[in-house]
Amino acid sequence: MNDFTNKAREIAKRLLADGTVSVVLGWEKGDEPYASAPTAITELAEVDRLIIDEYCIHEIAALLTDYRDGTDKVAIFAKGCDVRGIIRMIQDRVIPRERLHIIGINCPGMKDPNEYARAASGFGKAPAAEIAAKCQVCQNPNPFIYDEIIGDLQKVEPSNERFASVEEIEKMTPDERYNFFAQELSKCIRCYACRNACVACNCRTCIFDESKPQWVGRSTDTVNNMLYHIIRATHVAGRCVECGECERVCPVGIPLMLLNRKLVKDVDELFGPYQAGLSLEDDAIPPLSRYRVDDPDEFM
């Protein structure tokens, strides 16, 4: 992927030099071979920090909330999943398409730097997968909305695996299900990394940061942890782009995509066919963000 880096620097230099954009969102390298990290470059002299390699897994579109109040143009390097995240941001009116210069990256699948850091650390069990779990089932590695593009189109293996684990949970009895989630969510330390890494969690003031009234208690007990997760999952229902970042960033390994995929599946079955973040057309607005007379209402 070496020439990706060279291309990225060339493009960033051009965009900053000719004033097309005032900031470039991409990745740079830390002090370990696996330590790629998101960055925002604003100076021409700093462009050579940019890299693109096999550890650029982060959903970089989540950083767009930092620019919501400006008028400047933002260049953003975007893998397939990042483009879906960008569509989320545009449809949720965080930032308009006109303020973005999207440089697509046809993505061969990424490794998770955190998995490698954990494996090297000696601090716990080391997950072993080469290519990150979320990339193994990715159906959209190739950006489909962009201003320019890097790399060759990737072949996609069609896969229906993404709902397999949800179906396992659906087969459980209500008690089994409750116990399963109670056990998993009891580990949550309420660091809110799952929310902050999420492109759909782009609200200016999140319900969990409100204190008057306080909707969910701050104590880390099963009830409040469950409330947190149920509310977040329903808030992102129909808007989750399945980038898998919440699950990747969780420091205690909670399988959050089970919750999100259940709602993806429900929205698709009840209001669909629908998948979030695949189109900018008007009719692709998330089903729960619009009203239609023929919306199902049997539950009312």
Partner 1 sequence: MKVLPLDKLREALNIMANDAEVYVPMLRDDISGYFQWADNPADELALDLLNTYLSPKNVVIPQTEPMYKFKTSKQDVEITEVQVREGARIIFGIKACDLKALENLDMAFLTMGFEDEYYKARRQDLTIIAQACYKPGPACFCEGMGADRINPAADVLIHELENQDYAWEAKTSRGEELTAKIAALMEERDVTLPQAEPQSRKVDMTGVSEKLAEMFEHPVWDDLSSRCMNCGICTYVCPSCYCFDIQVSNRGEAGNRFRCWDSCMYREYTMMAGGHNPRDYKKERYRNRFLHKLQFFNERYGANLCTGCGRCVILCPNGVNIIEVIEKVKEVKLDA
User: Does position 124 bind partner 1 by CB under 8 A?
Assistant: yes
Among 22, 106, 196, 279, binds partner 1 (CB under 8 A): 196
Is residue 166 a contact partner of residue 262, using CB atoms and an 8 Å limit? yes
CA atoms of 143 and 141, how far apart (whole Å): 6
User: Does position 258 bind ligand SF4 by CB under 6 A?
Assistant: no
> How many CB atoms are located within 10 Å of the residue 234 CB?
12
CA atoms of 117 and 17, how far apart (whole Å): 36
User: Does position 176 bind partner 1 by CB under 8 A?
Assistant: no
User: Does position 30 bind partner 1 by CB under 8 A?
Assistant: yes
Please give the DSSP secondary-structure letter assigned to residue 11: H
Question: Which range, of 75-83, 120-128, 136-144, 290-298, touches partner 1 by CB under 8 A?
Answer: 120-128
138 binds, among partner 1, ligand SF4, none (CB under 5 to 8 A by kind): none
The residue length of the chain stands at 300
Is residue 111 a contact partner of residue 131, using CB atoms and an 8 Å limit? yes
Q: According to the 3-state scheme, what is the secondary structure of 139-191?
A: CCCCCCCCCEEECCCCCCCCCCHHHHHHHHHHCCCHHHHHHHHHHHHCCCCCC
Among 19, 96, 122, 158, binds partner 1 (CB under 8 A): 122
Among 130, 209, 269, 295, binds partner 1 (CB under 8 A): 209
User: Does position 114 bind partner 1 by CB under 8 A?
Assistant: yes
CA atoms of 73 and 22, how far apart (whole Å): 6
- Site residues for ligand SF4, window 167-206 (CB under 6 A)? 188-195, 201, 203, 206
Please report how close the Cβ of residue 159 comes to ligand SF4 at its closest, in angstroms. Answer: 25
Nearer to partner 1, 88 or 142 (CB): 88
Distances (CA, A) of 225 to 183, 184, 187, 216, 242: 11, 10, 9, 9, 22
DSSP-assigned beta bridge partners for residue 38: 27
User: Does position 276 bind ligand SF4 by CB under 6 A?
Assistant: no
Question: Which range, of 10-18, 84-92, 164-172, 183-191, touches partner 1 by CB under 8 A?
Answer: 183-191
Is residue 60 a contact partner of residue 37, using CB atoms and an 8 Å limit? no
Instruction: Indicate the pairing of strand 23-29 with strand 50-51.
Output: antiparallel
Nearer to partner 1, 75 or 197 (CB): 197
Please report how close the Cβ of residue 249 comes to partner 1 at its closest, in angstroms. Answer: 4
Residues forming contacts to ligand SF4 in the complex (CB under 6 A) are: 188-195, 201, 203, 206-208, 232, 235-236, 249-252, 254, 256
Residues forming contacts to partner 1 in the complex (CB under 8 A) are: 30-32, 35-40, 42, 46, 58, 62-63, 66, 113-114, 117-118, 120-125, 127, 187, 189-193, 195-197, 209, 211, 217-221, 245, 248-249, 251-253
